[in-house]
Amino acid sequence: MMTDTRSLNVNILPCPTWNKLSVNRATVDISSFSKEKEKPQFTLNNLGPVRRTKIRAVEAEKYADSLSDGIRREAYIAGKRAIYQEQHFQTGLGRELTDFLLENVDEAEIYTVPEAAEVYAPVILKWEFGKTGHSASMQVIHALKDSHSTFLIFTKSEKEASGELMMETKVILEEGATVNLIKVNLLGDGITVLNDTGALLRDNATFNFTQMVLGGNKNYVGCFADQCGDNTIFNINAGYLVNKDHLLDINYHGAMRGKNSDAKIFVKGSLSDSARKVFRGTIDFRKGSKGSKGDEQEDVLLLTPGVINKTVPVILTEEEDVDGRHGATVGNLLPDMLYYLGTRGIDSKAAEMLITRGRLLSIANTIPDDETVNFINLFIREAFEVNECF
């Protein structure tokens, strides 16, 4: 049986904080990860004109690297010693996960979207776990010039399932390409998830990334976008629901290097019980990003005492003609609102569910797959143990 006693450092901020809140990085214990566990069932639907190539993982890595000119390594960021890891094609979780996957994944897939193709029905990659499972996968999505495509990566399991899921998705968007990448996690209470994304955007490319993290025991998710081209757009819409003693650790980063680019990171979610959450969001105006705009917003709903909510919304600016902003709001359900709903026969548990569902469905409803949206709806209701009339 293969086990690993190592831990991985992931989701590393580009510049150090005081670290009084221990948010400079996350450390993942991977000693219980085992390839011997059952493999989840994988299905692929709606491939359409998209070409799928299976290739050795190391070759896929070289392929992605060959398309990236790499972000220059900086000794200092914000005048401080940079702490992020050097990684040619940068991703949110970072190099240590990539290295680990390269050791543990035999085959990766390259999905090539043909030039000028318009693929509106989502290509659906689904992993379904049984009671236990181990999944490690790497994908490269290469969207050629002026193509338009949507990919939905859906992971689900039984409620009590355990195991681990590790995934790295690299997206290369050639000039004028648009990719909508949707990642949905409806996994069980015993699954540890490391779900990583990296994107490279050439001129006029648009990358819309939607992430729903509703299940899993410990979730480490990240996305890094290298906006190396001019007039690029990078949008993140993320929603989460973290309850029980679960952990969610997020690192989203938009690095604008080309002119007139746009990065938006919008995150909203609910925390309850003794849940813990860390959100790191970085809007990064690099040299050359004149005329660019960045915005990051997080809206957190705290449903019970005992939660730990950490937020680090960073803006780095080394260019003058830019417009960057961030905002964060942390609050709870107002007593007036609960009272009002109570007078309509809706108890506090149902009220919490309704408010949370409303927030999360505002993101989920943009997913162009009804079955997935229904699963999300059901998952939220079950999480609150609220009866079907809601």
Partner 1 sequence: MNNMETEGAIHYDPAIDNSVDDINAYLEGTDRSLYNFRDESTDYYKVDSGLTRDIVDKISEEKHDPEWMHEFRLKCLDIYNNLNVPQWGPPIDGLNMDNIVTYVRPNTDMKASWDQVPEEIKSAFDKLGIPQAEHEFLAGVGAQYDSELVYHNLQESVAKMGVVYSDMESALNGPYKDMVKEYFMHLVPPTDHKFAALHGAVWSGGSFVYIPKGVKVEVPLQSYFRLNAKGAGQFEHTLIIVDEGADLHFIEGCSAPKWNVANLHAGCVELYVKKNARLRYSTIENWAKNMYNLNTKRAIVEEGGRMEWVSGSFGSHVSYLYPTTILKGDKSSCEYTGITFSGKGQDLDTGCRMVHMGKRSSSLITAKSLAKDGGINTFRSEIKVLPEAEASKSSVDCQSLMLDDISRSDTIPEIDVRVDNCDIGHEAKIGRISDEAVFYLMSRGIPENEAKAMIVSGFANPISKELPLEYAAEMNNLIKLEMEGSMI
- Give residues in contact with partner 1 (CB under 8 A): 15-21, 23, 76-81, 285, 290, 300, 302-332
Q: Report how far residue 265's alpha carbon sits from residue 298's, in angstroms, rounded to the nearest whole number.
A: 8
Which amino acid makes up residue 313? P
Give whichever of 141 and 322 is closer to partner 1, judged by the CB atom.
Answer: 322
Q: Which is nearer to partner 1, 316 or 354 (CB)?
A: 316
CB of 242 to partner 1, least distance (A): 13
Give CA–CA dist 240/98, Å, rounded.
Answer: 24
Q: Which of 66/329 has CB closer to partner 1?
A: 329
Which of 50/351 has CB closer to partner 1? 351
Q: Is 299 left (phi over 0), alpha (psi -120 to 50) or beta?
A: beta
- Is the CB of 196 or the CB of 230 nearer to partner 1? 230
Closest distance between partner 1 and the C-beta of residue 301, in Å?
A: 9
Structure tokens at 200: 């490279």
- Smallest distance, partner 1 to C-beta of residue 292, A: 11
- Residue 379 near residue 215, CB atoms below 8 Å: yes
Q: How far is the CB of 358 from partner 1 (least distance, A)?
A: 18
Per-residue DSSP letter, 70:
-
Of 70, 156, 61, nearest to 104 by C-alpha is 61
CA 303 – CA 192 distance, rounded (Å): 23
User: Hey, what amino acid is at 57?
Assistant: A
Confirm if 261 and 292 have CB atoms less than 8 A apart. yes
What tokens were used for 99?
Answer: 């290295």
Q: Judged by CB, which is closer to partner 1: 144, or 302?
A: 302
Nearest Cα to Cα of residue 141 among 209, 228, 87? 209
Q: Give 80 or 159: the residue with its C-beta nearer to partner 1.
A: 80
Q: Which residue has the tokens 């709870």?
A: 332
The Cα 47–Cα 3 span in angstroms is: 35
Q: How near is the Cβ of 361 to partner 1 at its closest, in Å? A: 22
Considering the complex, what minimum distance in angstroms separates the CB of residue 191 from partner 1?
26
Task: Write down the least CB distance from residue 137 to partner 1, Å.
Answer: 33
Q: For residue 286, give Cα distances in angstroms to 8, 13, 176, 226.
A: 28, 16, 21, 10
286 secondary structure, DSSP code: -
Select 188 or 281, whichever has its Cβ closest to partner 1: 281
How near is the Cβ of 330 to partner 1 at its closest, in Å? 4
Helix, coil or strand: residue 49: coil
